């Protein structure tokens, strides 16, 4: 391991970056150095600019992917190498504004009917029933499910934050059915710190990739035309809560969003709210009649 890589790792650990973020940052910096065949310490902002153009124009990466590289390289130069550059020296490509895909209740029921395996179905129902990210759902521990208070504890979610989400009676029944069906008969009682959804290795949890594959298979077999990933179920959770009248600030807390404007985009997603909005065209005739009536009364007076 090079001294620069070690320093960058230490800088990220001090700031409590997650293991996934550390791996992604190191990967992007390593690819950047490999592209030029030199250490990043010997490269400048012009090299960063050229590499961004390479990612966008030659590799055809999405703005989201390029922005991950920008975050990594900005951390390297501004934090680890302490270069006297401003944050404006690391421009980010503009991301197209896209609304997340949301399924109707009927489509969701059809989707869950085709999810293969009790374990896969239980994890995906947590994503929808409690609004968890797939990384949060697969890493749940047995002790995180509090059936006495009907809560699920999400430990160290995105941003290193803990939070509680509701455990619905139906979701609790799904989890109990999964536990009875998948827990080997006569096996030792699970400790509170054991993974709720262990992989075949036992000491690790189910992978996110496994759930993405299960999603893809279920969508194909159900004949759904919409693109669906585990994260889509989280979008459905937020949108359906909003349609049912839940306060957007409560939805923000349940999703673990730091900023309300991140949650507010779901007001643009809900087709039910859009469909319930009365067009001013529909009110045109009645308002015209009201105005004519007022003018007639004024002239008579």
Q: Which residues are catalytic?
A: 133, 158, 231, 234, 257, 266
Exposed, middle or buried, 33 (CB in 10 Å: 0-12/13-18/19+)?
Answer: buried
Q: Which of 114, 106, 146, 110 is nearest to 130 (CA)?
A: 146
Q: List the beta strands (DSSP E) in the chain.
A: 145-146, 151-154, 163-166
Neighbours of 243 (CB within 10 A): 17
CB 171 within 8 A of CB 130: yes
Q: Which of 41, 40, 180 is nearest to 51 (CA)?
A: 40
Could you please report the per-residue DSSP string of 178-213? HHHHHSPTTPPPPPTTSBSSB-TTSSSBPPHHHHHH
Q: Which of 204, 213, 144, 202 is nearest to 172 (CA)?
A: 144
User: Could you identify the residue written with the tokens 């130069």?
Assistant: 77
d(CA 29, CA 64): 16
């Amino acid at each position: 391991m090079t001294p620069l890589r070690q320093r960058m790792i230490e800088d990220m650990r001090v700031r409590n970056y997650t293991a996934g973020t550390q791996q992604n940052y190191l990967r992007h910096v390593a690819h950047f150095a490999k592209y030029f065949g030199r250490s990043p310490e010997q490269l400048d902002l012009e090299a960063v600019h050229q590499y961004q153009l390479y990612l966008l124009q030659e590799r055809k990466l999405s703005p989201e992917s390029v922005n991950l590289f920008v975050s990594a390289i900005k951390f390297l130069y501004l934090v680890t190498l302490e270069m006297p550059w401003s944050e404006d020296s690391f421009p980010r490509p503009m991301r197209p504004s896209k609304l997340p895909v949301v399924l109707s209740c009927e489509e969701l029921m059809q989707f869950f009917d085709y999810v293969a395996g009790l374990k896969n179905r239980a994890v995906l129902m947590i994503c929808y029933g409690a609004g968890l990210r797939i990384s949060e759902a697969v890493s749940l521990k047995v002790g995180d499910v509090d059936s006495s208070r009907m809560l699920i504890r999400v430990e160290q979610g995105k941003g290193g934050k803990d939070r509680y989400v509701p455990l619905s009676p139906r979701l609790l029944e799904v989890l109990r059915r999964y536990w009875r069906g998948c827990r080997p008969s006569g096996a030792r009682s699970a400790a509170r710190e054991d993974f709720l959804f262990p992989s075949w290795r036992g000491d690790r949890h189910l992978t996110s990739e496994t759930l993405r594959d299960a999603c893809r298979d279920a969508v194909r077999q159900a004949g759904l035309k919409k693109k669906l990933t585990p994260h889509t179920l989280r979008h459905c959770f937020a949108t359906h809560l909003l349609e049912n009248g839940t306060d957007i600030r409560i939805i923000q807390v349940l999703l673990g969003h730091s900023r309300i404007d991140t949650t507010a985009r779901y007001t643009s997603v809900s087709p039910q709210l859009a469909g319930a909005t009365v067009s001013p065209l529909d009110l045109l005739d009645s308002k015209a009649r009201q105005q004519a009536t007022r003018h007639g009364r004024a002239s008579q007076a």
